[in-house]
């Protein structure tokens, strides 16, 4: 799309509510840096994540696919042979980095998913700059080191995920804060009741106002780090060449944890009571498919490309759209059929149009008994084990008026669409679509000889299992092993190898858990 592709910074908060930012009308949040980012770009009011917990949501951002399409929990098995946004960008000249939370597979070494540098960071809960300070510092260093080449960087923080226990210095900055439950919407009152329940039951020293102070301190710490990042982009002269994206992975957590009622064995109630994230009046939060669980703040800034001071209230877009959209902006051709993408290229929406994406949006984890929901146009349907709830979000964004009993015609139409979508998923998350008695075939690619000019001793090597195949077309896993140790888990990973001969084993698995292996010899010579 552009002669010179932009740098891309993807900031992903954890469990941050739709209404947890000042720019999204939180009554008390102190977020001047994020507010400024939004005013310098565009913020969206109808952006949806793909999951209601960490790994399923991050799967959508990384792969452009719904988590249920994998037939497995990606935090345990990775993304199989699915392309990732980082891998596609790395193939096309980007330097890629990931800093912070992972939750997208068992392997987090440099080179995984085409990410050249991976650093999960150290969480220092007593750091006066906030527990994500080290993550942002490492990301800023990566940007400094790669300022002359197009770069993509994930900055996936831990704020505001439990435990919310900020240092006293941050909490002190909210000393003059006055708390009034009436400043929040109807659905927020249930959350306050839960927090108050913990305070009373365990005779906690803090009151509800102090719990809110601690939550606000966490958001303030996140905003401080975002401010440092934006200042560094300005200092390096990169503002005009950098697309900055800010979102959250799902809605805010409950003081009770799973949002399914009080658990008598709840851990550390004095910290759990601080889970006071705000969904901006929307119903629900983390672990459920109501709007408060799946609608996220979404802000993008790219000076001269993305309109400034704009609020897009009409476009309904999803995290599965991030991969095809970023690739389009970076000028990378992606075949949505070959890559099995669920997402759509909505780059025109990011750059200023206000249309809606063409397809419906689905929510389901890669487990048989997980929640199921769909948005189609203004309609939202939730499947509660064959009992449906139906809401018209144009008239009822807070999901207080269930229309399933009065609009059977809409229920019938949408439930049929859900059934059609389910038919595209693996038939069983345990065994999948097993039709052929034949085992898969592993192909680790031809032997390679790599000239190492890196004085640091190691060189990046790209492995390629694209020749592997399965009679049913459903390879569920790629594992690369060196001397018996797992070094990568995707189809075409980058790995760093020292000088010498390395015989690397590829092991592929199908959905019936049948395996096949092959080996490739990689010779690294000086």
The DSSP line for 79-91 is TTT---HHHHHHH
Rounded to 5°, the CA angle 351-355-359 comes to: 115
Cα 506 from chain centroid (whole Å):
28
Eight-state DSSP code of residue 466 = T
pLDDT at 259: 43
What CATH code would you report for 1-35+103-296? 3.40.720.10
**Which three-class secondary structure state does DSSP give residue 39?**
helix
How far apart CA 422 and CA 420 sit, in angstroms, is: 6
HSE, side-chain direction, 13 A CA sphere, residue 160? 35
Residues in the chain: 526
How far apart CA 222 and CA 127 sit, in angstroms, is: 12
**Tens of pLDDT along the chain (526 residues)?**
446 899 999 999 999 999 999 999 999 999 999 999 999 999 999 999 999 888 999 999 999 999 999 877 888 889 988 999 999 999 999 999 999 999 999 899 999 999 999 998 877 777 889 999 999 999 999 999 999 999 999 999 999 999 999 999 999 999 888 899 999 999 999 899 989 988 998 899 999 999 999 999 999 999 999 999 999 999 999 999 999 999 999 999 988 765 444 444 456 888 889 999 999 999 999 989 999 999 999 999 999 999 999 999 999 999 999 999 999 999 999 999 888 999 999 999 999 999 888 899 999 987 666 779 999 999 999 987 778 999 999 999 999 999 999 999 999 999 999 999 998 988 644 333 445 667 889 999 999 998 877 665 788 788 999 899 877 656 656 889 999 887 886 777 778 899 999 999 999 877 566 789 999 999 999 8
Phi, psi of 412, deg, nearest 5: -60, -45
Cα 353 from chain centroid (whole Å):
24
How far apart CA 235 and CA 313 sit, in angstroms, is: 33
**Which three-class secondary structure state does DSSP give residue 306?**
coil
Name which of 126, 224, 123 is nearest 167 in CA terms.
Answer: 126
Name which of 467, 449, 447 is nearest 520 in CA terms.
Answer: 447
362-422: which CATH number, 3.90.105.20, 3.40.50.720, 3.40.50.2300, 3.30.1120.10?
3.30.1120.10
Positions of E strands within 393-484: 448-451, 459-462, 475-482
Asked if 357 and 342 count as a contact pair (C-beta separation under 8 A), the reply is: no
Q: Which long-range contacts (CB under 8 A, 24 or more apart) does 373-378 make?
A: 373/289, 373/294, 374/414, 374/417, 374/418, 374/421, 375/48, 375/316, 376/414, 376/417
pLDDT at 512: 63
How far apart CA 4 and CA 330 sit, in angstroms, is: 8
Q: Name every residue whose Cβ is closer than 8 Å to that of residue 268 and which is 6 or more positions away in sequence.
A: 163
What CATH code would you report for 448-525? 2.60.40.10
Residue corresponding to tokens 């996936």 = 156
Name which of 469, 470, 468, 476 is nearest 432 in CA terms.
Answer: 476
How far apart CA 56 and CA 365 sit, in angstroms, is: 6
How far apart CA 159 and CA 170 sit, in angstroms, is: 14
pLDDT at 431: 37
This prediction's pTM: 0.82
Phi, psi of 90, deg, nearest 5: -60, -35
Q: Domain-by-domain residue ranges, the chain? A: 1-35+103-296, 362-422, 448-525
Sort 370 into a burial class: Cβ within 10 Å, 0-12 / 13-18 / 19+: middle
Phi, psi of 322, deg, nearest 5: -65, -45
How far apart CA 249 and CA 93 sit, in angstroms, is: 27
Residue corresponding to tokens 């910074």 = 9
């Amino acid at each position: 799309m552009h002669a010179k592709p932009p740098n891309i910074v993807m900031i992903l908060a954890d469990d941050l509510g739709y209404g947890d930012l000042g720019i999204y009308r939180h009554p008390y949040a102190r977020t001047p840096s994020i507010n400024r980012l939004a005013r310098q770009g565009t913020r969206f009011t109808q952006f949806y994540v793909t999951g209601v917990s960490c790994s399923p949501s991050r799967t959508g951002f990384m792969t452009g696919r719904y988590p249920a399409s994998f037939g497995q929990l990606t935090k345990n098995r990775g993304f199989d042979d699915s392309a990732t946004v980082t891998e596609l960008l790395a193939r096309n000249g980007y330097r890629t980095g990931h800093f912070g939370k992972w939750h997208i597979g068992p392997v987090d070494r440099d080179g995984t998913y085409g990410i050249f540098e991976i650093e999960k960071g150290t969480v220092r809960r007593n750091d006066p700059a906030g527990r994500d300070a080290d993550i942002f510092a490492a990301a800023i260093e990566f940007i400094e080191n790669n300022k002359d080449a197009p770069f993509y960087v994930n900055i996936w923080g831990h704020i505001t995920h439990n435990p919310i226990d900020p240092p006293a210095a941050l909490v002190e900055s909210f000393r003059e804060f006055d708390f009034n439950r009436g400043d929040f919407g109807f659905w927020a009152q249930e959350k306050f009741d839960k927090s108050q329940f913990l305070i009373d039951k365990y005779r906690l020293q803090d009151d509800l106002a102090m719990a809110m102070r601690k939550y606000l301190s966490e958001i303030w710490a996140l905003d401080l780090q975002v401010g440092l990042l934006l200042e560094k982009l300005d200092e390096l002269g990169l503002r005009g060449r950098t697309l900055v994206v800010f979102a959250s992975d799902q809605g805010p957590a409950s003081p009770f944890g799973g949002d399914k009622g009080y658990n008598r064995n709840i851990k550390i109630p004095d910290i759990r009571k601080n889970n006071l994230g705000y969904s901006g009046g929307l119903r629900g939060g983390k672990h459920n498919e109501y709007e408060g669980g799946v609608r996220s703040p979404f802000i993008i800034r790219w000076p001269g490309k993305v309109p400034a001071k704009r609020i897009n209230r009409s476009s309904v877009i999803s995290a599965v759209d991030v991969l095809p959209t970023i690739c389009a902006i970076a000028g990378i051709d992606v075949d949505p059929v070959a890559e099995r993408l669920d997402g759509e290229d909505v780059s025109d929406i990011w750059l200023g149009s206000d249309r809606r994406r063409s397809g419906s949006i689905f929510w389901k984890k890669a487990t048989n008994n997980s929640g199921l929901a769909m948005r189609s146009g203004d309609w939202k349907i939730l499947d509660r084990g064959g009992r449906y709830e139906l809401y018209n979000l144009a008239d009822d964004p807070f999901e207080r008026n269930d229309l399933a009993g009065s609009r059977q015609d809409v229920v019938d139409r949408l439930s049929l669409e859900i059934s059609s979508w389910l038919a595209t998923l693996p038939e069983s998350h345990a065994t999948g679509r097993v039709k052929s008695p034949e085992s898969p075939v592993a192909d680790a690619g031809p032997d390679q000889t790599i000239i190492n000019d890196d004085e640091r001793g190691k060189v990046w090597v790209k492995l390629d299992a694209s020749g592997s195949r399965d009679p049913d077309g459903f390879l569920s896993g790629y594992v690369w092993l060196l001397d018996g140790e797992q070094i990568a888990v995707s189809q075409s990973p980058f790995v760093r190898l020292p000088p010498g001969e390395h015989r690397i084993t590829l092991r592929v698995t199908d959905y019936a858990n049948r395996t096949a292996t092959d080996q490739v010899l990689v010779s690294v010579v000086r």
